[in-house]
Structure 1
């Protein structure tokens, strides 16, 4: 049944998309701001060394029970130390592209291209992934790189035209990472489909637009559709409820890439909001309600919720994208306005800038 559903969805999606090339949402196609400092000399920071080793990292929840909700401080420290070259590169690329978007200075484009070309030429992140954490790092990095690259690729000034060889090299490498991500996260058993799969789908759909590959686009939408089918009538994701005291946190985390996928689907003529009778809206309303009152999550899990994630604004950056999909009430709009700009490296950087598109009911 799952195979038949996937085949039918592939056919319908291919028919919808066949008539036109893939496009990002309008926010990803904006020109950069032109500021007086736009011509200042920029020295590119040192590029983190390409990570070419096997993707084999400890989980920060090592030793935890099946809920995977108790942080292991020693394992967490080891995870951050071993993955530092990758996360440093994510920050490097996001900061360069954001700086370009806010200044119009083409030297930030040069820094971005040189850095990604170096990693692409080295075949970074293409080795085998020995464990779940290794696979996770690959798709998170791909989400960062592709969502940042799109902003250069689709800018009206076409800044990448100055780098044809590097552009081809980088986009070929991103496509290769996209293939690996599909292989690792597509068609998993339902009990294993959770927030990680949704982040993989976000990385894949952004890469699909970068590379103009319908097969990647379809694979991402297939994972999205599976996610929507998992949302119950009350707006909960059963596989995230398993995280017990972190259930609210992981519902919030799962929602971030799903909102971005819906934006990309809409930009390509697909109504992702209709899936499973408006499942995305049920999920979002449930999470938004939980930001101030987590009692519904406490009741479903039987434990008080850990709300520490609210201390990090990057975890709520998706709300600006949410309010470009749905009409948000004045209270939420005021909450957003007071903390703008909203930043999330793996969702494209400055979400306040990228998500400023037309609203729908």
Structure 2
């Protein structure tokens, strides 16, 4: 009898303890893969060998840009040189802040010069205080630029935020201002790309989900993390039994290039989800692995893509090593065969500003040291 009373008395306390433990576990801070925790390699003083470039003018105008495929047929695969130039000119400052952030962070992680860190934070804070890239007046190309820019900046910033050297510890007001801006932009990216019809959900949606994942980790927002995972699952379920993405096959002669272009954001999301306790590798019976394997086979022999798309494949993009940066997270999620690892080693280091810089330094630092870089 005494035991029953004691049990009744303790039950609510034990239940609340269990609930608290569950809540604590659910609220574990989001974090990036282990390589992002790397310390700054050395701390140098004196002038940096590269001056801080002038801050690109914060872009606060309408996000209405011409497409580089303007006038193309529905395959959207024929480049319009004139409209591409207009697009490049109109978005030059956005691209400059993306590339500049990535470059400065990479330099700071190597050299540790205070000027490099201040350069990056001052530039991002200037854009944050102007509430740049937040226009509600946008077209498809404009909302695409917003999510690309967010992904570039947030993923480079993660290197600073999570480094065991804690470079942001003495820059908290700026860090908070920048993170609040990333957070607002991610909310807008979610609004821009949420719940699209499946025939309109393609590589752009995956890149949007990557920008939101990078921001989720940079700002510790579980709601953004969950949205990114949701979008990954939509993408994974678009991969058919043979490893093709129907909406990328529509790109005809660029179908293989666009399948390859769909892989970096998907592989990065899966890698970030994995370290936060969400395993996406088995989604739709291993869709990400199927897609990666299909693309690697296509690079060796594009016949299957030519049969599916009805066009001889344009291999130009596939001769650029950085286009295969997805192999770093991919080969951390799966056991890549020896020939793929050898190819990866030949192409390292993988540097791409849209994924935040030097991915080899994050995922396979031994590969970079072997190259002596």
Task: Give the TM-score normalised by structure 1.
Answer: 0.92
Is 1:108 paired with 2:116? yes
**Deviation string for 1:308-354 (max 9, x for gaps)?**
00232221111122111111222222222223211110111001012
State the partner residue of 1:260. 268
Q: Distance in 1 between matches of 2:276 and 2:56?
A: 35
| Cα distance in 2, alignment partners of residues 57 and 345 from structure 1 | 21
Q: Secondary structure at the match of 1:276?
A: coil
User: Would you say 1:86 and 2:94 are equivalent positions?
Assistant: yes
Give the RMSD, CA atoms, in angstroms: 1.7
Q: Give the one of 194, 201, 225 matched to 1:193.
A: 201
1:166 is the counterpart of 2:183: no
Q: Deviations over 1:287-306 (max 9, x none)?
A: 11111211110111111101
Aligned pairs (5 A) from 1:136-151:
136-151=144-159
Question: 2:281 is paired with a residue of what secondary structure?
Answer: helix
Where structure 2 has 5 or more consecutive residues not aligned to the other structure, the ranges are 1-21, 366-373
CA distance in 2, matches of 1:253, 1:19: 33
Structure-2 residue corresponding to 1:303:
311
Distance 2:298 2:356 in 1: 25
Q: 1:178 & 1:142 partners in 2: Cα distance? A: 7
Matched, 1:127 2:135: yes
SS of equivalent residue, structure 1 residue 151: helix
Q: Deviations over 1:255-279 (max 9, x none)?
A: 1100000000001011110100101
Question: Is residue 339 of structure 1 aligned with residue 347 of structure 2?
Answer: yes
Which whole-Å CA distance do the structure 1 matches of 2:218 and 2:25 have between them?
Answer: 15
Counterpart position of 2:18: none
Question: CA 1:213 to 1:17, structure 2 compared with 1: closer, same or farther past 3 Å?
Answer: farther
Deviation, structure 1 residue 15: 8.3
Counterpart CA distance in 2 for 1:356 and 1:221 is: 24
| 1-structure distance, mates of 2:137, 2:303 | 38
Q: Any unmatched runs of 5+ in structure 1?
A: 1-13
* Cα deviation digits, residues 12-32 of structure 1 (max 9, x gap): xx9897241111111111112
